[in-house]
Amino acid sequence: MKNIVVVGSQWGDEGKGKIVDWLSEQADVVIRFQGGHNAGHTLVIDGITYKLRLLPSGIVRKNKISIIGNGVVVDPWALLEEIKEIKSKGVHVDVDNFMISESANLILPFHREMDEIREDFAGKGKIGTTRRGIGPTYEDKVGRRSIRIMDLRSEKNLDQRLDLVLTHHNAIRKGLGKKIFEKDQLKKDLLKIAPEILKFSQPVWLKIDQLKKKKKKILFEGAQGILLDVDHGTYPFVTSSNTVAANAATGTGCGPNSINYVLGITKAYTTRVGEGPFPTELKDSIGNLLGSRGKEFGTVTSRKRRCGWFDGVLVRQSIKISGINGIALTKLDVLDELDEIKMCIQYELDGKKIDYLPATLEDQLKIKPVYKTFSGWKTSTKGIKNIKALPENAKNYINAVEKFIETKISSISTSPEREDTILIENPFKI
């Protein structure tokens, strides 16, 4: 038995979908442990494209169990729509291959509205959220006033829980000059869909324990990236959950001893969606080239991603914080046309050299990257499946990255296609 956690080592959008799909083919169980339907994973299987937002990537494969853990926040209407959408493409979804933790918290319409209200009021100080209600739902969870899936079982209990959470939200809405949110229609809407949601509901921690006893291989699927972690990311421009590998245990109800290997997905350059510090960002023709060749637009929001050079300092920091054992390097082929390629190896802050990202936003915005420059390879690497077939300059760059981040590169992706991967080490077979 080998259980693997997959996390993004940058600001998300590292190409996790392709890697997770490849791993899910070998796994018995795939589990989402944090985030919501703000993080998209694109899978291409037998010529069919699946754009998943909330469902675990294992759902598109036969004879796999897919689980949404307690650490995920669930928009019930978005979930049912995604199930309907994927069923229309021939994917089987029922209570035998899909389940949701009864403890998962629900994203409700007033959460989405609060997300929009806050972003609009923030002006230049906006975070750049996806406006899907993720943050406000996590706030209610921590504030102990949220609605959980288990609350849908009892109309009386649901009524009381809605009174509690709306007392809080309506006080804020009044203060911001917005209409209060009425409870009755929402309660009717929730009770209407409750049977469809509750049929998938289970004590997931217990199911995972049973699966572990049966020696099933479990893949824990992270969303976003470590640099968006609410504790360890570029705060406050972060998501509202812990995206580090350790949260795979907390967000599913299994112990940390359930994790045998942590795989970090890492782009050969860097991208970021939304606001916040980005030390190696390129606002020039090279940045535009990376965005164009890498098709850097969000799966869920279609927002254009900011692009920049590979930041070795940040990736190395993510590796140490999340206990990453190996790196899957993606989108190497995007760099094929460049005359030279740069990697950030230090920062300069107020005239001093530092080798980590400072914690304060003020310093994060002031730091200047110190680069090491490599000669480009100026030839196509697209579709290469053997590391020996790579151009020498590409191998030099990869070796330098591996040495700097102090972690083994276990695979290299040379196109969006799943087969176009240079496999150096299979985490399931170590």
Distance CA 256, CA 397 (A): 34
Q: Is 13 annotated in the active site?
A: yes
What was the pLDDT predicted at 297? 80
pLDDT of residue 55: 94
**What pTM was computed for the model?**
0.93
Which of 29, 335, 374, 385 is CA-nearest to residue 210? 29
Marked catalytic residue, from 13, 21, 75, 151: 13
SS (H, E, C) the chain: CCCEEEEECCCCCCCHHHHHHHHHCCCCEEEECCECCCCCEEEEECCEEEEECCCCHHHHCCCCEEEECCCEEECHHHHHHHHHHHHCCCCCCCCCCEEEECCCEECCHHHHHHHHHHHHHHHHHCCCCCCCCHHHHHHHHHCCCCCEHHHHHCHHHHHHHHHHHHHHHHHHHHHCCCCCCCCHHHHHHHHHHHHHHHCCEECHHHHHHHHHHCCCCEEEECCCCHHHCCCCCCCCCCCCCCCCCCHHHHCCCCCHHHCCEEEEEEECCEEECCCCCCCCECCCHHHHHHHHHCCCECCCCCCECEEECEEHHHHHHHHHHHCCCEEEEECHHHHCCCCEEEEEEEEEECCEEECCCCCCHHHHHHCEEEEEEEECCCCCCCCCCCHHHCCHHHHHHHHHHHHHHCCEEEEEECCCCCCCEEECCCHHHC
What is the distance between the alpha carbons of residues 248 and 256, in angstroms, rounded to a whole number?
Answer: 8
Q: Which stretches in the chain have pLDDT values below 50?
A: none
What pLDDT, on a 0 to 100 scale, did the predictor assign at position 123? 67
Between CA 412 and CA 402 the distance in angstroms is: 12
Q: Give me the pLDDT at residue 1, please.
A: 61
CA dihedral of residues 181, 182, 183, 188 (deg, nearest 10)? -120
Q: Is 41 a catalytic residue?
A: yes
pLDDT of 421 reads 93
The pLDDT assigned to 44 comes to 73
> What pLDDT score does 298 carry?
66
* Catalytically annotated residue among 21, 28, 37, 41: 41
Distances from the Cα of 207 to the Cα of 69, 221, 374, angstroms: 11, 17, 49
